[in-house]
Copies of this chain bind each other. A is one copy, B any other.
């Protein structure tokens, strides 16, 4: 109810007179706006390099990761890493803090959990 979620078990399965199936409850489904928003968040996770960035940053428990440490393990050039970091920040998954010349990125608490909950089935 609160946040949009893929699944909210419908209530119509009785009609068997239609040629192929009951017309299905489309009003319970995600509307285009909700779908667009959700998709944009999953899109941030749909690239291998970004997932690896997240896993590196997340493995630095309670700390941040300096941008300068990322290009080498990822095998990417600095502008590309910067590009991916921006996408992750825009998706609300990473937090950016600049201190001096260095930029530190950290996981936004509960951001992944929140995204996770949009995949929840009603058990």
Residue numbers in B under 8 Å from A68 (CB-CB): 20
A6 on the interface (CB 8 Å rule)?
Answer: yes
Q: How large, as a class, is the contact surface on chain A?
A: 35 or more
- Oligomeric state, in copies: 2
A113-B121, A121-B112 known; A6 vs B58 contact (CB < 8 Å)? yes
A79 within 8 A of B: no
Given the known inter-chain contacts A21-B66, A42-B42, please indicate yes or no for A29 contacting B48, CB distance below 8 A. Answer: no
Q: How far is the CA of A48 from the CA of B93 in the complex (A)?
A: 19
Residue of B at shortest CB range from A100? B20
The 3 A-B pairs of least Cβ separation, nearest first, read: A35-B48, A10-B59, A43-B46
**A60 touching B119 in the complex, CB below 8 Å, given contacts A46-B39, A112-B6:** no
In the complex, which residues 72-119 of chain A have their Cβ closer than 8 Å to any Cβ of chain B? 73, 102, 104, 107, 112-113, 115-116, 119
